[in-house]
Amino acid sequence: MSTSVVVTGASGYIGKHVVKEFLDHGYAVRATVRSDAKEAELREAIGADGADRLSVVRLDLNSDEGWDAALEGVDALIHTASPFPLATPNDPDELIRPAVDGTLRALRAAEAAGVRRAVLTSSCVAIYNDELRDGQTILDETNWSPTRQPFTTPYDDSKTLAERAAWEHVGAAGTALSTVNPGVVLGEPLDDNFGSSLSLVEQLLGGEFPMLPDVNLPVVHVRDVAAMHRLALESDEAIGQRFPAVAGALSMVEMAEILNAEIPTSAAKVRRAPSFLIRLMARFNADMKSIAPRLGKSGAVSGANAERRLGMTFTSARDAVIESGRFLATRS
């Protein structure tokens, strides 16, 4: 059994929970961050429990420096790091290349250090842009999103191509890989530094959307995502498997209604935007362009592979929304 892991991207919203999950279950964790400030942030978020088993190193996805040393002497790589854009880049490769190259850099460093077990954080966007096959009623781990299409965003493509590159690489290198593919990740963060991960709930709470597009999203709780990384590492049955991390799908209107029912200060609007208007706006607006192809689709992706192989019982999508809303409401 693995007893020590490297967790990349450890100061991120998901990364912090992953570090805590492994520490809480007795692992030694070598966490990678980009700066001293990020180390301080991580240590404060994690707290005292397990702190004696946490070490932190500086690494950059875009540089080879330090990777070989960081992977030396550990049992497994947990690769959560990936670029996430604040705005859609004009050149998609500004996002795609760092995601693909960073994933391969981490895997190669693991192989050079003799580490032959890896768990990669991918995304449901690598699944849900696909179409249902004949006889298929819900998208699952067997589906792959097409890339570089008019209906895919640079972020979609970066996650899909990075995961594909990982599977192709380990097929030749012999590394035992599993991937965790989260939907929209919600739930209480470990500190106030959670980036843009809860921005959708924050914008809904603030009433920033006068109308909501007819879009359904696969939702998962952040603690479940963290648990899946550990369970995937601990299970031989998980090797070679993709694990969609999804508790269920919710429309944006349903999310707004949940927040209005459970959060007294919520100002979420619940009026649905006419789909023809979204499609019209997509001609001129990059955000609307990425939404338009998903109008009216179910958003459902099956989490059954994790339930079957990892024994997962997911926190409900509704509870993940409520917990996020309550956390954000206390900060306003």
Which residues participate in catalysis according to the annotation?
159
CA 303 – CA 246 distance, rounded (Å): 5
Question: If you search the block for the tokens 């850099």, which residue do you land on?
Answer: 105
Dist. CA 315–CA 92, nearest whole Å:
34
Q: What is each CA distance from 327 to 20, 187, 263, in whole angstroms?
A: 19, 8, 10
Q: Name residues whose C-beta falls within 8 Å of residue 311's C-beta, 6 or more positions apart in sequence.
A: 231
Q: 255, 289, 296, 257: which is closest to 273 by C-alpha?
A: 296
Backbone CA torsion sign across 194, 199, 225, 109: negative
Rounded to 10°, the helix 252-262/317-331 angle is: 60
Extract the runs of DSSP E, i.e. beta strands, from 222-314: 242-245, 248-251
Q: How far is CA 106 from CA 26, 59, 124, 232, in A?
A: 24, 10, 21, 18
